[in-house]
Amino acid sequence: MAGLVHSNAPLMALPPSDHGGDVMTDRFHWSKAVAGVMDALVVPAFGAPGILIRSQGWTEDLGRVDLRGQRFIVTGANAGIGLAITTALARQGAQVDLVCRDQLRATDAIETVSNSVRSTPYGPEAQLNVVLADLTDLQATRAACVQLAQDPTPIEALVHNAGALFSQRILSPQGVEQTFALHVLNPFLMTALLLKPFREHRRARVIWVSSGGMYTQRLKVRDLAKGADRFDGVVAYAQCKRAQIEVMKRMHEGEHKHGLVISAMHPGWADTRGVRESLPRFRQLTRWFLRDAAQGADTALWLALSAEAKQAGGRLYLDRVPRSEHIPWSGTQTAEEDIDALWALCERLCGVTWPD
């Protein structure tokens, strides 16, 4: 299978061509047609069947890209999607800065990645560096960026992957509800603090890892900073994933002229530790078709590495295809004044003014 998708699940057999045409063309049209049906059904589209079908039409093999000497930053890199992204980059010889909250888990992650890539052609040349930071704390984010900025190696891509679903409302050290602090303020601040080297490099990419949960929510800016009166962790998570998309689009509007490509993806439904711990009932019902972490990570890697993805800024992607940000007739569209209010809130709470 093309790309960086790895799974033990068998591939569906491709139907034979009935007109003697180009096999890859037949495969593309067939996979596109089946994917369209699955999109309408949602469940198989977000699960493993979705990526197994869509990948039949891919022609770009990201697994052959030589990344030696290239630098990437991945937040939440010690588990799940983040660990899969880190492993794939290291397999190709990249330098990866792993931004993690826990030293022990970060050390375990580096050992896991190193063992996984040791026998690959470029893996032994990979450089793995740990930056410790609790990204619910904006001061920790600032300290992490100071450490990251000490390395003069240009940053090819920053992947905002760190995330968590919290069962109760807890305020960050800055007095902000921690779901919002982690998923929205931290990526906003980290991107702002690394903007100077990004602009100097003029080809950096910033990828936000969102979630299909955002499809269930219309943005309510007033509830973000402190949380709703009746806190629901699932709703707060989905609200912040919706906010991520709006911030990403506004950010790309201002930065594409400086050479940055800022985009978002959602990994589909993947069987990660976060899902197992935070949504055990959901996993019990869906485990038979969940994606593995590598499948969930593929689109983030495509956005970070692909030549095609140079034009991907300002959009949400699933399985290397731009997706609508809203389900028809769901009423989740965000008013322009709410986007303005969200951006102003991020600037105020992060203590930054976004430069022109």
Mean of pLDDT values over 304-332: 92
Number of CB atoms found within 10 A of residue 6's CB: 16
pLDDT at 276: 63
* 178 neighbors 127 (Cβ within 8 angstroms): no
**Does 215 participate in catalysis according to the annotation?**
no
Helix axis angle, 336-350 relative to 186-193, nearest 10°? 70
* 164 neighbors 182 (Cβ within 8 angstroms): yes
* 212 neighbors 282 (Cβ within 8 angstroms): no
Which amino acid is it at 259?
A: G
pLDDT, one tens digit per residue, over 38-74 is 444 445 678 777 788 888 888 888 888 999 999 999 9
pLDDT at 284: 59
Distance CA 340, CA 30 (A): 42
Q: Which one, of 282, 292, 237, 215, lies nearest residue 42 by Cα?
A: 215
Which amino acid is it at 57?
A: G
Number of CB atoms found within 10 A of residue 229's CB: 7
Residue 21 has pLDDT above 60, yes or no: no
> What are the backbone dihedrals phi and psi of residue 116, each rounded to the nearest 5 degrees, phi first?
-70, -35
Distance CA 266, CA 319 (A): 9
Lowest mean pLDDT among 60-64, 154-158, 261-265, 333-337: 60-64
Identify the H or E element spanning 72. Answer: strand 71-75
pLDDT at 317: 95
pLDDT at 49: 75
Q: Which of 32-36, 59-63, 282-286 has the highest mean pLDDT?
A: 59-63
Distances in Å between the Cα of 145 and the Cα atoms of 52, 75, 149, 162, 184 are 37, 12, 6, 15, 16
pLDDT at 89: 98
Residue 17 has pLDDT above 60, yes or no: no
Please, which residues have CB within 8 angstroms of residue 202's CB and are 6 or more apart in sequence?
Answer: 258, 259, 260
Instruction: Please identify which of the residues 122, 215, 237, 317 carries the catalytic annotation.
Output: 237
pLDDT, one tens digit per residue, over 63-114 is 889 999 999 999 999 999 999 999 999 999 999 999 999 999 999 999 999 9
pLDDT, one tens digit per residue, over 148-206 is 999 999 999 999 999 999 999 999 999 999 999 999 999 999 999 999 999 999 999 99
Average pLDDT over the chain reads: 86
Residue 3 has pLDDT above 60, yes or no: no
DSSP state of 92: T
pTM: 0.85
Q: In what order do the strands lie in the sheet with 205-209?
A: 127-132, 95-100, 71-75, 155-160, 205-209, 261-265, 316-318, 321-323
Cβ-based burial of 145 (10 A; exposed 0-12, middle 13-18, buried ≥19): buried
* 215 neighbors 326 (Cβ within 8 angstroms): yes
pLDDT at 26: 47
Which residue has 């040791």 as its token pair? 118
Confidence of residue 278 (pLDDT cuts 50, 70, 90): low
DSSP class per residue in 182-210:
IIIIHHHHHHHHTHHHHHHHS--EEEEE-
Confidence of residue 37 (pLDDT cuts 50, 70, 90): very low
Residue 261 has pLDDT above 50, yes or no: yes
